[in-house]
Amino acid sequence: MPRSSELPLPVRDAGVAAGWFTFGVLLMWLLPEMRIAFSGGEPGPAPSAVLVLAVACTGSVLRRTRAPVGLAIATVALVGGALWEGRTEIGVLLVFSDLLYCAVRHPPRRTARAVAITAGVVVVLLAAVTLVFQGGRLAVLHLFNLVLLVGVPTVWGLEVRRHEDLAAAERARAEEAARAVARERDAAVAAERARMARDLHDVVAGRLSAIALHSEAALQPGADPELVRRALATVRESGVAALGEMRTMIGLLRDTGPHDPPTAPARLTELAGLLAEARAGGLSVRCDDERPPGTELGAPVELAGFRIVQESLTNAAKHAPGAPVAVRLGIDDDALAIEIRNGRGGSPTPAGPALHGGTGLAGLDERARAVGGTLSAGPDGEGWLVRATLPIDPPGGPR
């Protein structure tokens, strides 16, 4: 059997109307003196009184679907009963009050406002008429009764409606806040994915490119055995280094225990090892570190600078193998200046599509902008120049 809350509104309102009718008839029968009499007449459940109550309860069938129409029906029953019988039953008054409450709570806002204003005007007019024809004492008494009959249900319905509107506004605000949080979370996830993709490229691409280049050199027909041995040694070193950096990256992405702390991110102080690896790969690298002694940089700037040099050397090995490369580090206008200039070398090694069409420069530009800096790359006379300017203290960056 379905619960009452699962029934359609007309069915539930019809049950309310039946309840009001039964209650009104019981009042007529058990308490016949509980009525407002305007003229003589026999108390009790007279057929005419029951008919007036039935008409009023007919309006209760529309108490939530078309409450103003139901209120109009109850008003006709209230006025008609007073004129026809010379009395008004308490059951009819209760039905009228209930329908007045519903008429200011359930309809659209404009209709509810019109009903409330009309009710107020009727109360004032009836009080004024009583004051003119029956004097001040009866006018005050009638005004008090009208406030109980009309004013209380109207104000009550308006107040309940106001609280419901506030609750609906709060729900809408909470839903909008939840959607904003979801959008921010999605944006954060997208930014984190982009950062991970950039870090993955920086960590792995350079090492794998070196492995591919040295493998290609070792596979050349008639290669010198000593050259092959050195190339394979470099391949192994690059592979071990790539595995170590991948382990560091994975450790940063998962929860680590107190006995397994993640490795510190790469810094410019480790540039010597990177340059040695580049020289082992066939590049002629010169590094001029013009930074004043004791210069301290934020960790994000250290990492960004290291990755910029690493990617630039990898690109030089790809596209200009054997070319001289000059790396310069300095402080210009309270910012770290990095320049990597390489001349033209031999033909790029055709080591497959993985060595071409990458996103290294775009990633470096994103990394520079992430710490508030700038990066430019392009032809420079007879070679290629990558220049980055990174603030010493990035906005919001930890030292």
Among all chains, which residue has been given the structure tokens 């340059």?
275
Residues 6+ apart with CB under 8 A from 231: 214, 215, 217, 218
Average pLDDT for the chain:
77
Q: Where are the beta strands (DSSP E) in the chain?
A: 35-37, 87-89, 284-289, 324-331, 335-342, 374-380, 383-391
CA distances to 178, 209, 234, 287, 315 from 237, rounded to whole Å, are 50, 13, 5, 22, 19
Q: Can you read off the two tokens belonging to residue 184?
A: 């921010």
Reduced to 3 states, what is the DSSP secondary structure of residue 337? strand
pLDDT in tens, 287-344: 998 888 877 787 778 888 888 898 888 888 777 777 789 999 998 888 899 999 987 6
For the cut 90, the answer to whether the pLDDT of residue 388 exceeds it is yes
- Residue/partner pairs of 272-276 with CB below 8 Å, 24 or more apart: 274/306, 274/309, 274/310, 274/313, 275/313, 275/327
Domains in the chain, CATH or no CATH each: 4-178 (no CATH), 264-399 (3.30.565.10)
- Cα angle: 257, vertex 263, 266; to 5 degrees: 155
Is the CA virtual torsion 14, 18, 23, 25 positive or negative? Answer: positive
pLDDT in tens, 155-195: 888 888 889 889 989 999 999 999 998 888 888 777 767 76
